[in-house]
């Protein structure tokens, strides 16, 4: 019998570990940029990335998520011809759309530079950067499609490799191009190199290790299969659009209403808070194909039991990290970006609260999509996207980057509650209220202890060390005393894994 617990935990652990490594590389990339570019140039880079990431939602058409879902489903049904057909359909459509978007961006680069990036003085340079990123847009399908194939086949180690290569390529090529004196051009040109080179590694790996019968299996490409992919993919477009709103629209609106210096500060605080989101990225990668497989094989009860366990242990894991980030954001920013970045501390504080809802809500979204209900996810996302957009427009002109953080946090909480309710309609899974209340109680005890430590007349580093050591002890002992964490339960889980 398939050990789903072992597969889920092993896959999540691999992705989470690789995500931490790539996050470190991404931070090095940001530190490299922050130390090599002016504040305006730094803000321009991330404003441009946000602009093109918004366009990428429409280029994708939801086909990458559809691939993950249906590769897992067709494997259960032993239909390799449909797997091959799905991959080819997704590639052809995405390449054609990416090519058209890239050409349009090149042709209208001057107008885009004038209208969107009006706060930057050198319009000619902005236009050149747009042209370079447009080339990357054309190359995107080769890199992104392979990631979806690895995920769909549940070859998580190869999927994680693509994540690592992305971060490493950006850091390596940016360093090389900065050394050549290219400055603000360097990171954009590094994006082009990333989308150009790694697919040369992914394709042979996919053919040899993942789908060795790719060229021997007959090709099935027909209207029925294409319609099936789009029926799943179109709601995913709406979901992706909402996701981009949460991650890039705040930067875009800040660019319109606030100085680029504040955009730069926000893009120091936001990615720092995303350290807490890394668990959701790992869960999403594993849960989508796994839930699709379980739903197809009619093992619905396993999904329900798994979600209850996931809720409990995810909340137990992320709450103390959120508390530490809420209390000590200045230390984190000073270590990573230097003392000039401390002004973004309140951004981290606000987003550390929303991170808990972000992680749990992402798990809900993924399972809903995996069981074939992407429309439910898109409905919630549209509501959340509208709320987030309105709050950004209302709060950013008044409160700047703190307003953007507050809008995002409120939206995460709203969407978690909505998706949890929808998921309960399809899967019998009682919400672990008792465990949540016990974990929250333990977290409050830890928070009270840390606040007592912060008023002591000792240096900040000593406060952090005391909070980490004794706070962890208080947290674990509280969970054991409340019966939320038991050695017998932990041993049972470990036995199923190993």
Query: Tens of pLDDT along 74-128?
Result: 888 888 999 999 999 988 888 888 889 889 889 988 888 888 777 666 788 888 8
pLDDT value, residue 175: 92
Please check the confidence at residue 13 and state whether its pLDDT lies above 80: no
Mean per-residue pLDDT over the chain, rounded: 83
Whether residue 206 sits in one domain with residue 230: yes
pLDDT digits (tens, 9 = 90+) for 358-396: 888 888 888 888 888 888 888 888 888 889 889 999 999
pLDDT at 489: 64
Contact 61, 94 (CB under 8 A): yes
What's the pLDDT at 1? Answer: 41
Q: Say yes or no: 309 and 422 in one domain.
A: yes
Q: Which of 401, 416, 431 is the last residue of a domain?
A: 431
Six-digit token pair at 277?
A: 């989101």
Q: Is the same domain home to 337 and 447?
A: no
Kindly state whether residues 453 and 308 are assigned to the same domain. no
pLDDT tens digits for 293-309?
778 877 777 778 778 87
262 and 316 together in one domain: yes
- The residue written with tokens 């090149």 in the block is 106
204 pLDDT exceeds 60?
A: yes
| Residue 57: φ, ψ to 5° | -60, -45
Of residues 280 and 375, more confidence is placed in: 375
Mean pLDDT of 139-153: 84
Name the more confident of 3 and 212. 212
Highest average pLDDT, of 51-65, 244-258, 473-487, comes from 473-487
Question: What digits encode the pLDDT tens for the residues 282-341?
Answer: 777 777 787 887 788 777 777 787 788 778 888 888 888 888 888 888 888 887 777 778
Mean pLDDT of 232-239: 81
Judgement on whether residues 133 and 155 belong to the same structural domain of the protein: yes
Q: Are residues 486 and 416 in the same domain?
A: no
Q: Domain check: are 426 and 442 in the same one?
A: no
Do residue 11 and residue 124 come from a single domain?
yes
Q: Of 139, 135, 125, whose CA–CA distance to 105 is shortest?
A: 135
The reported pLDDT for the residue numbered 410 is 93
pLDDT of residue 176: 93
Res 222: pLDDT: 80
Structure tokens at 168: 């490493």
Per-residue pLDDT reduced to its tens digit, 149-168: 898 888 888 888 888 888 89
Mean pLDDT, rounded, for 26-47:
84
Give me the mean pLDDT over the 176-184 stretch: 89
Alpha-carbon gap, residue 211 to 477, rounded angstroms: 48
What's the mean pLDDT in 189-216? Answer: 86
Q: Where is the domain boundary, 408, 431, 454?
A: 431
Count up the domains in the chain and report the number: 2
Residue 355 sits in the same domain as residue 441: no
Own/partner contacts of 320-323, CB < 8 Å, gap of 24 or more, are 320/443, 320/446, 320/471, 320/472, 320/475, 321/275, 321/276, 322/276, 322/352, 322/353, 322/355, 322/356, 323/352, 323/443, 323/446, 323/447, 323/450, 323/471
Tell me: do 425 and 441 sit in the same domain.
no
Cβ atoms of 356 and 319 closer than 8 Å: yes
Residue 127 to residue 111: CA distance in whole angstroms: 8
Reference 64, options 230, 198, 191; nearest CA is: 230
User: By residue range, what is the domain housing residue 491?
Assistant: 432-498
Task: Using pLDDT thresholds of 50, 70 and 90, give the confidence band for residue 264.
Answer: confident
Whether residue 89 is found in the same domain as residue 69: yes
Q: How far apart are CA 215 and CA 262, in angstroms?
A: 52
Question: Which pLDDT score, from 0 to 100, does residue 407 have?
Answer: 92
Closest CA to 385 of 231, 250, 275: 250
Closest CA to 153 of 216, 214, 97, 219: 214
Q: Which of 389, 409, 431 is the last residue of a domain?
A: 431
**pLDDT the model gives residue 220:** 78
- What local confidence, expressed as pLDDT, does residue 84 receive? 92
Q: How far apart are CA 229 and CA 62, in angstroms?
A: 8
Please give the pLDDT value at position 4: 59
């Amino acid at each position: 019998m398939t050990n789903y617990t072992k597969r889920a935990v092993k896959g999540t652990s691999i992705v989470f570990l690789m995500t931490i490594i790539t996050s470190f590389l991404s931070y090095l990339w940001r530190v490299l940029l922050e130390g090599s570019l002016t504040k305006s140039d730094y803000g321009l880079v991330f404003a441009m990335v946000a602009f093109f990431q918004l366009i990428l939602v429409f280029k994708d058409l939801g086909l990458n998520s559809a691939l993950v879902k249906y590769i897992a489903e067709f494997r259960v049904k032993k239909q390799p011809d449909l797997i091959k057909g799905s991959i080819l359909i997704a590639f052809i459509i995405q390449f054609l759309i990416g090519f058209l978007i890239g050409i349009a961006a090149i042709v209208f680069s001057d107008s885009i530079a004038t209208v969107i990036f009006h706060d930057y003085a050198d319009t000619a340079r902005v236009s050149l950067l747009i042209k370079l990123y447009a080339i990357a847009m054309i190359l995107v399908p080769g890199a992104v499609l392979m990631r979806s194939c690895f995920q769909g086949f549940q070859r998580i180690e190869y999927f994680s490799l693509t994540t690592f290569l992305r971060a490493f390529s950006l850091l390596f090529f940016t360093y090389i191009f900065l050394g050549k004196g290219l400055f603000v051009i360097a990171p954009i040109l590094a994006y082009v190199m990333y989308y150009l080179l790694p697919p040369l590694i992914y394709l042979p790996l996919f053919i040899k290790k993942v789908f060795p019968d790719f060229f021997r299996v007959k090709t099935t490409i027909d209207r029925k299969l294409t319609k099936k992919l789009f029926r799943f993919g179109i709601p995913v477009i709406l979901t992706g659009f909402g996701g981009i709103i949460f991650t890039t629209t705040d930067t875009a609106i800040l660019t319109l209403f606030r100085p680029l210096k504040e955009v730069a500060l926000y893009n120091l605080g936001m990615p720092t808070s995303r350290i807490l989101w890394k668990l959701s990225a790992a869960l999403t990668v594993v849960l989508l194909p796994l839930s699709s497989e379980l739903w197809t094989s009619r093992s619905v009860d396993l999904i329900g039991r798994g979600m209850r366990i996931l809720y409990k242990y995810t909340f137990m894991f992320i709450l103390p990290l959120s508390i530490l980030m809420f209390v000590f954001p200045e230390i984190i920013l000073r270590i990573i970006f230097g003392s000039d970045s401390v002004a973004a501390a309140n951004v981290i504080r606000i987003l550390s609260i929303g991170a808990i809802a972000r992680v749990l809500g992402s798990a809900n979204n993924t399972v809903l999509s995996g069981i074939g209900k992407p429309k439910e996810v898109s409905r919630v996302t549209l509501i959340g996207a509208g709320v987030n957009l309105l709050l950004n427009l209302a709060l950013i002109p008044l409160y700047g980057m703190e307003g953007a953080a507050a809008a995002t946090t409120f939206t995460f909480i709203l969407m978690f509650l909505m998706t949890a309710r929808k998921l309960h309609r399809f899967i019998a899974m009682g919400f672990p209220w008792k465990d949540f209340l016990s974990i929250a109680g333990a977290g409050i005890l830890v928070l009270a202890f840390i606040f007592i430590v912060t008023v002591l007349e000792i240096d900040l580093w000593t406060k952090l060390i005391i909070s980490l050591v004794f706070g962890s002890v208080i947290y674990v002992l509280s969970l054991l005393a409340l019966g939320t964490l038991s050695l017998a339960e932990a041993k049972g889980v470990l036995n199923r894994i190993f």
